[in-house]
């Protein structure tokens, strides 16, 4: 049995993940000396907060107008949470980008999986839309990672 049993559990978990992602990217922006990279991470903060708002809207709809879909027995947070101890203060730029890529990949997988588990079409579409946005974040971070690695060579 998963540790997330209802749509509400799933949404609350996802909201927490988006808040953590925004905090992570804000910390990364604060560590950047290059203005372009600082702006890049600040943009990710804005996008993650927008994701959080979309999910919070789904919570309101779940509580007010949407039907509860019962249990989701195969959903677990395992594999989707990044251990905070892995975010070291001494992490260099490429390590931070690598961690960010992993975070976005986990978020993509989570939202893609959840979109297929919920029965409300609108909520499924919201989750699928978030999965697509996380995939775009991942692609942008991978591009930054490639540039960073090439500069080190």
Give the pTM.
Answer: 0.74
Which residues in 51-82 are b (16+ Cβ under 10 Å) and which e?
bbebbeebbeebeeebeebeebeebebeebeb
Q: Is 3.20.20.540 the CATH number for 7-152? A: no
pLDDT digit string, tens, across residues 44-72: 999 999 999 988 888 887 664 444 444 44
pLDDT digit string, tens, across residues 97-131: 888 898 889 889 888 888 887 777 888 888 899 99
């Amino acid at each position: 049995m998963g540790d997330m049993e209802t749509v509400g559990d799933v949404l609350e978990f996802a909201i927490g993940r988006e808040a953590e992602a925004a905090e992570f990217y804000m910390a990364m922006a604060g560590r950047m000396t290059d203005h372009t990279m600082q702006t890049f991470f600040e943009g990710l903060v804005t996008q993650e907060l927008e994701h959080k708002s979309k999910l919070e809207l789904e919570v309101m709809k779940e509580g007010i107008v949407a039907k509860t879909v019962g249990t989701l027995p195969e959903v677990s947070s395992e594999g989707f949470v990044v251990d905070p101890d892995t975010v070291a203060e001494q992490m260099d730029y490429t390590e931070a980008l690598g961690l960010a890529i992993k975070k976005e990949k986990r978020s993509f997988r989570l939202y893609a999986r959840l979109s297929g588990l919920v029965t409300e079409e609108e909520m499924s579409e919201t989750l699928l839309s978030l999965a697509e946005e996380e995939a775009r974040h991942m692609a942008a971070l991978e591009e930054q990672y490639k540039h960073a690695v090439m500069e080190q060579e």
